[in-house]
Amino acid sequence: MAGLSAAARVRELGATPIVYEKGTRPGGSMLLSSCVIWRFRDWDDFRMECPAGDKALQRVVWERLDDAIAWLESLGAPVVVHETGNPRTSGKRFDPRGLTETLVRAAGDVRVGESAAEPTILATGGFQANAQLVAEHIHPGGLLRLRANPWSSGDGMRHALERGAELSAGLDEFYGRNMPDASFSEAEFVPLAQLYGRFARVYNERGEEFFGGEVSWSENDLVQATAQQPRARAWYVLDDDALAQRVRDRKVADIVALAPTRVDPTELPFPAPAGARVAVRVSPGITHTIGGLCIDEEAEVVGTDGLFAAGADVGGISTGGYASGLAAALVFGRIAAESVVARS
């Protein structure tokens, strides 16, 4: 999202960008995503949800997202739904394949299977695919499964650090989903996400209800708490009421039915609570890192001279919570482009 948006904007401003894409296809995790590009409706809500994030960067995303979404539409990107389905947020859901194709067309020169020796804008999508960096910063056990494209392995961060970059707060945080504790494919990233923890009773393998308080709507707090449990696992235990609830357009019972790790409550390694109908063993899938490079409001990497970054390579925007990664990538991708063109 960040790299293609930056290139499309650079070209629109009259310069000649080249996108170097390390993977076997363009689109990164954007192509695999649900593709809801959103912001909190209320500024105070954003601050409350992501309290440790950089206020100035958050403000830029919040103020410039609507224009950026309109720009995507003006390029011809196909909108699937003109709202997010969440009353606290505003934004649009795009078709990820159509959006990728639109941006590739607008970007022009996209070189698949290549990396740039001297990049101007870093947009490599974070470091979640690098087991060593994940172990160093986020989780020592190597137990977090990847729920993202396989190529975002911290190349942007490494390159910027060699050029004097500073790192943001929240390097130990990640955005993810609890998934069935079994292997899953790219096509299952969305349908298999077990996004109903708020309706379940949640236990670790020792039978302890480890999550105190209310689970947030994104459930990212529950996912991160799960990572801290023995073997980074949890059990979601559901009664009839929980199974009848709805998450977006699906019933919880239908999501549970897809999970290969669902069991009868009698098979739990601890006594089941009264009323339990089914239990699902889950563990975290990491979608993207939340910490990363520090940038200023012009998308320049702090500590460097003329190096820019956008997207999940940038840290400190949704620290302490969760906000749309696509929104930040889109807004700062465009800003990075404008900064580069203005200085050339």
Ligand X SMILES: Cc1cc2nc3c(=O)[nH]c(=O)nc-3n(C[C@H](O)[C@H](O)[C@H](O)COP(=O)(O)OP(=O)(O)OC[C@H]3O[C@@H](n4cnc5c(N)ncnc54)[C@H](O)[C@@H]3O)c2cc1C
Q: Which residues bind ligand X (CB under 6 A)?
A: 1-3, 20-23, 28-30, 32-37, 115, 123-125, 147-149, 151-152, 155, 189-190, 287-288, 311-312, 324-327, 329
Distance of CA 187 to CAs 128, 153, 224, 246, 309, Å? 18, 21, 23, 22, 29
Nearest to 196 by CA among 258, 287, 270, 128: 258
Token pair for 55 = 């206020």
Q: Are 313 and 157 in contact (CB under 8 A)?
A: yes
Token pair for 259 = 């999970």
For the bound state, the minimum distance from the C-beta of residue 319 to ligand X, rounded and expressed in Å, comes to 14
Nearer to ligand X, 28 or 291 (CB): 28
For the bound state, the minimum distance from the C-beta of residue 111 to ligand X, rounded and expressed in Å, comes to 9
Q: Are 37 and 89 in contact (CB under 8 A)?
A: no
Nearer to ligand X, 224 or 324 (CB): 324
Q: Is the dihedral of CA 330, 113, 190, 157 positive or negative?
A: negative
Nearer to ligand X, 122 or 232 (CB): 122
For the bound state, the minimum distance from the C-beta of residue 16 to ligand X, rounded and expressed in Å, comes to 18
Nearer to ligand X, 326 or 331 (CB): 326
Q: Is the dihedral of CA 124, 126, 128, 133 positive or negative?
A: positive
For the bound state, the minimum distance from the C-beta of residue 27 to ligand X, rounded and expressed in Å, comes to 6
Nearer to ligand X, 119 or 265 (CB): 119
Nearer to ligand X, 243 or 317 (CB): 317
What's the CA gap between 286 and 28, in Å, rounded?
Answer: 15
DSSP tag of 293: B
For the bound state, the minimum distance from the C-beta of residue 48 to ligand X, rounded and expressed in Å, comes to 19
Nearer to ligand X, 151 or 210 (CB): 151
Q: Is the dihedral of CA 266, 267, 273, 277 positive or negative?
A: negative
For the bound state, the minimum distance from the C-beta of residue 203 to ligand X, rounded and expressed in Å, comes to 26
DSSP codes, 181-224: SS---GGGTTTT----GGGSEEE-TTS-----SPPPTT-HHHHH
Nearer to ligand X, 61 or 268 (CB): 61
For the bound state, the minimum distance from the C-beta of residue 116 to ligand X, rounded and expressed in Å, comes to 6
Q: Is 314 left (phi over 0), alpha (psi -120 to 50) or beta?
A: beta
141 CB burial (10 A radius; 0-12, 13-18, 19+): exposed
For the bound state, the minimum distance from the C-beta of residue 40 to ligand X, rounded and expressed in Å, comes to 12
